Structure 1
Amino acid sequence: MSVRSSVSMAGAVLLVMAALASPAGAEAQPVQRVSAGDPFAECTIGSTDDGVSDPASEVEPWIAVDPRHPGRVIGAFQQDRWSDGGAKGVVATYSKDGRHFTETPLPFSACAPGGVDYQRASDVWVSFGPDGVAYASGLAFDATTPRNGVAAATSYDGGRTWKHVSQLIADTDPAIVDDKNSVTADPVHPGVAYQVWDRIDQVTSGPGAHYTGPSYIAITRDHGKTWTPAHPFVDTSVVPNSQTIGNVIVADPRTDVLYDFFEWQTYTDVNATTPSDLHFAVVNSTDQGRTWSRPVKIGADTSVAEVDPNAPDDPDKALRGGANLVSAAVDPATGELYATYQGSDFTAGRYNDIELVHSTDGGRTWSAPVRVNQAPNAPAFTPSIAVDRRGTVAITYYDLRYLQPGNTTTLPTAMWYATFPRGGERYPTERRISRVFDWLKAPYAGWGHFLGDYEGIAAAGGGFRPILVETNNDPKNSTDAFSGLLAPSANAAGPQVVPATPRLTTPRHPNAHPFRR
């Protein structure tokens, strides 16, 4: 059931170089569509009375690049997003040459051939090991029963086929929710990979009322043939009514140290209705995930609700982006750690910027945040980060700088690509890499129009390869995934002047979500 993409990426490098040499507002788009068709179009599994599935929609993409062969790429995304949680399934799009992409369903829902027996899937993630073996992770769950869990699969052929389909955890208790999983292949040890997620346990009444959400891990040391029993490694019971969310491991190839980044959320009550403390944190392991340090606070989460600035109280125009999640990377040459996230430190709580912090001492201490996005009067969302072997840092994000005052019918949005050399985070060079598209055309998922809680970017040889979602004007194909090979931009000597629409947004309260399927 693979589908050959109708769009070739031939000539992408020339397009990239031309685009990066153009002014920031130029129309050149150095990415190409890498999604095509709808392998789940005929599948009705997972239907509910209240749920609406957006046909042929692709959202929340991730990407991995083979460290031995930068042309070997695997992207992955949710396919046919449901309005009340998850998607019909998740799909991989793979390439052997970085130019031509083919789709194949990942086996993480019953809509996929050979998939695990669950009605829906979400939160797909992929990672390449040092030997070119790829690992995939997916959240699998039912819409009509409390069954849910995390699944894994392995590819030996660059994403064309997937083997060793495994269920790492299977929960049936209505009080327990597995959420926000990711997988990271060990960059030094072939066959070793780590899956992490949060597992929320919430009993809201009676003498045993409690709320907790520890980080869980499962490890393979034989290319995914077997995984260790899933078990907690960050204990949130030490603080009442707490959980982690958005666990992601990055590994330092020089030292073999693993770093797991996440947000720690604490609520005032067992129902998790009001957050009292939101902060980003990190733990580390020096023995391939067998034991872990105590959490170190990175910084406060000051993100505010993601809204249309011209209609902040209109529920039909609510947005869903990357608030409360952290994207992290390590410099493979020096071990310097970076973390980026949405925050409102530079706007006095009015709207979100893209903030960046770093650590040069193995995560023990962290710098003050700097603002990365170069249109300071426009809200920015959903950052992703990667660092290459030369120490060049690349960050992608969406923003709303093209939105004009008084426009309440569309929400012009674009994705931007900022790069800087090691130490140059205060003066990044920024380029637009997407079309300007209408975010309000995206599927409505949970509490807002949804492009993804995360997007992806990976170092690829001498450049970077992002993957992102743009909307279309066709309700039968509301979104597509795009990717391309981008060269690092020449670093500017000082701050860039980028056109932006001056605006003020209505102050919003911090938004935290116990789980984000």
Structure 2
Amino acid sequence: MVSKQVGRALLVLFGIIVFGASTALAGSGAAGPNVAVSGTSPFAACTADNVTGQIGTNFPNSEVEPWVEVSSVDRNGDGVSDAIGAYQQDRWSNGGARGIVASVLYAGTWRQVVIPGVTKCSGGAFDRATDPWVAISPNGDAYVMTLTFQDYPTFSTSILYVNKSIDGGLTWGPPIQLIRTDSLFMFNDKNSMTADPFDSNYVYGIWDRSRFPSDKRELHSLSGFPRSIRSDAIFVRTTNGGVSWEPARPIFEPKANQFGIGHQIEVVRGGPHAGRLVNSFMLFHGSGSNKKGQEIAVLISDDRGTTWSNPITVRKVLPGFVSDPDDGTPLRTGDIIPELGAGPAGELYIVWQEASLAPSGSAIALSKSVDGGTTWSEPVRVNTRPDVQAFTPSVEVLGDGTVGVTHYDLRFNTLDPATLPTDYWFLHSHDGGGTWLETRVTPASFDSKLAPFARGLFLGDYLGLTTAGSQFLTMFTKTEATDPASQFATSLTP
């Protein structure tokens, strides 16, 4: 989160506070223009990863699954605070992308910067990378965390890297290995990284490590997922600003068939629990033919990650799965990844896709905690159209307590099965989630049928939403007629 003055200066320079061109609904808020922040693939001439020799379909010039953060300082020297987003570049149909690219705001324009040493196309040793995550410390140090692995079908090696930038994202240091797993029966996945807002020495990383204790079937076996699957929550941190990282270690290691995914840490910002780490995730009970339901849960630490609580249930979940209403084509969305946001007075908000709250079968649900994550409110539906599928939500909170939520939906879909008109929406609440106002972010619908297909039409398992003074900044995926998926940034004014 940045100061109101610096944040506004950043967004004015960015050129996205143009209220005359906003798509605001009456009495709601304002969305600036959708500014393209990605470009032509920097890997077009790369042959090191032997694309034609790999199994699967590659989607050149596709950019999906962004994360974005805004700094409180100016490290790149352009006179305003830094903004950095990162995303997958050239997505594969069966897992990962050819590399990770950052888009960096500099002197009013977005520059594309390849994250070095992550894949063969960026000077690394492995074919594919995925799950980029950006974190920026209060002093402006920036980090990108990435999962990299070898090509399909074995995925026998999975490595988590972190690269650091001290100049606002214009250049990045070499990747530091946080963990490497060489096994057909274990896989690191769905990582995230959080910079402590109170102390730039502390940065936290977390992910799930899948393992198979009984039938020894590989994670990505063509015969399907095993009957017995578990996953540990693996945690890592630096206490010296990224100079070194403590050894990765499990903080939740289930003994039964429980599978957690989508781990995200927030730091409580105020109140009696200020400084507490709260990690949210989706927890599945049972697996394969023995599924027994799922819930959103949290783990809590009051000592910056040294010790952690047992899981605390937020809510039992009936996940909202999404498909084209015309022909049933699946969309791969954020249906198994809850998103967590922290407010200035110690309040926390979780959003997720929930089937039970709307006849469409996929609503955006929100639950709130005012006691540091120990207890949570009954969920409420926040998307305005219960009759259409809504998906892939994000949540953040401004310094004045205004809550912002973004999501996609299909309200402008037509009966034509050849296309799938899709839109992106911004909701905000000034009363702690009691009432909501809606703004359309996309001035015109885009066609999700053009998106890369990766176990469904794929825009990303998550999207970027952050704060910049009195506004929100989002980075999201939409398709274009000549491009399967591109990244756009937009300012959102409540």
TM-score, structure 1 length as denominator? Answer: 0.85
* Other-structure match for 1:421: 430
Task: Please give the alpha-carbon distance, in whole angstroms, between the structure 2 residues aligned to 1:24 and 1:409.
Answer: 35
Query: Offset at 1:262?
Result: 0.5
1:54/1:164 Cα in 2 relative to 1: closer, same or farther (>3 Å)?
A: closer
Mapping for residues 197-212 of structure 1, pairs under 5 Å? 197-205=207-215, 211-212=229-230
* Other-structure match for 1:452: 460
Task: Please give the alpha-carbon distance, in whole angstroms, between the structure 1 residues aligned to 2:182 and 2:121.
Answer: 22
Kept after mapping to 1: 8 A contact 2:29/2:439 = no
Kept after mapping to 1: 8 A contact 2:353/2:362 = yes
* Other-structure match for 1:307: 323
- 1:43 and 2:62 correspond: no
Q: 2:297 aligns with which of 281, 301, 326?
A: 281
- 1:64 and 2:69 correspond: yes
* Structure 1 alignment gaps of length 5 or more: 1-7, 489-517
Instruction: Name the SS of the counterpart of 1:101 in structure 2.
Output: strand
- 1:103 and 2:112 correspond: yes
* Other-structure match for 1:252: 268
Cα deviation, 1:362-386, whole Å, max 9, x if unaligned, reads 1111111111111221100000011
Instruction: Name the SS of the counterpart of 1:214 in structure 2.
Output: strand
Task: Please give the alpha-carbon distance, in whole angstroms, between the structure 2 residues aligned to 1:234 and 1:17.
Answer: 50
Task: Please give the alpha-carbon distance, in whole angstroms, between the structure 2 residues aligned to 1:422 and 1:164.
Answer: 44
* Other-structure match for 1:483: 489
* Other-structure match for 1:325: 337
1:46/1:149 Cα in 2 relative to 1: closer, same or farther (>3 Å)?
A: farther
1:430/1:25 Cα in 2 relative to 1: closer, same or farther (>3 Å)?
A: closer
Query: Offset at 1:178?
Result: 0.5
Q: 2:35 aligns with which of 32, 35, 45?
A: 32
Task: Please give the alpha-carbon distance, in whole angstroms, between the structure 2 residues aligned to 1:94 and 1:380.
Answer: 29
| Equivalent AA in structure 2 for residue 481 of structure 1 | Q
What's the C-alpha RMSD, in Å, of the aligned pairs? 2.4
Kept after mapping to 2: 8 A contact 1:12/1:485 = no
Kept after mapping to 1: 8 A contact 2:73/2:81 = no
Query: Offset at 1:202?
Result: 1.4
Query: Offset at 1:148?
Result: 0.9
Count of residues in correspondence between the two structures: 463
Kept after mapping to 2: 8 A contact 1:71/1:95 = no
Query: Offset at 1:108?
Result: 5.2
Query: Offset at 1:284?
Result: 1.0
Task: Please give the alpha-carbon distance, in whole angstroms, between the structure 2 residues aligned to 1:289 and 1:235.
Answer: 15
| Equivalent AA in structure 2 for residue 267 of structure 1 | G
- 1:467 and 2:475 correspond: yes
1:274/1:347 Cα in 2 relative to 1: closer, same or farther (>3 Å)?
A: farther
Instruction: Name the SS of the counterpart of 1:484 in structure 2.
Output: strand
- 1:337 and 2:356 correspond: no
Task: Please give the alpha-carbon distance, in whole angstroms, between the structure 2 residues aligned to 1:186 and 1:427.
Answer: 30
- The share of aligned pairs that are identical, in percent, is 34
| Equivalent AA in structure 2 for residue 43 of structure 1 | C
1:104/1:197 Cα in 2 relative to 1: closer, same or farther (>3 Å)?
A: same
Query: Offset at 1:218?
Result: 0.9
Kept after mapping to 2: 8 A contact 1:40/1:111 = no
TM-score, structure 2 length as denominator? Answer: 0.89
Instruction: Name the SS of the counterpart of 1:410 in structure 2.
Output: coil
Kept after mapping to 1: 8 A contact 2:118/2:161 = no
Could you tell which deviates more after superposition, 8-17 or 164-173? 8-17
Kept after mapping to 2: 8 A contact 1:246/1:262 = yes
Instruction: Name the SS of the counterpart of 1:276 in structure 2.
Output: coil
Cα deviation, 1:456-476, whole Å, max 9, x if unaligned, reads 1001111110000000112xx
1:319/1:184 Cα in 2 relative to 1: closer, same or farther (>3 Å)?
A: same
Instruction: Name the SS of the counterpart of 2:245 in structure 1.
Output: coil
Q: 2:126 aligns with which of 118, 136, 140?
A: 118
Kept after mapping to 1: 8 A contact 2:89/2:99 = yes
Q: 2:306 aligns with which of 290, 294, 300?
A: 290
- 1:394 and 2:400 correspond: no
Q: 2:253 aligns with which of 235, 242, 260?
A: 235
Could you tell which deviates more after superposition, 450-459 or 141-150? 141-150
- 1:440 and 2:452 correspond: no
- 1:84 and 2:94 correspond: yes
Task: Please give the alpha-carbon distance, in whole angstroms, between the structure 1 residues aligned to 2:423 and 2:141.
Answer: 33
| Equivalent AA in structure 2 for residue 402 of structure 1 | F
1:13/1:472 Cα in 2 relative to 1: closer, same or farther (>3 Å)?
A: closer
* Structure 2 alignment gaps of length 5 or more: 1-10, 75-79, 218-226
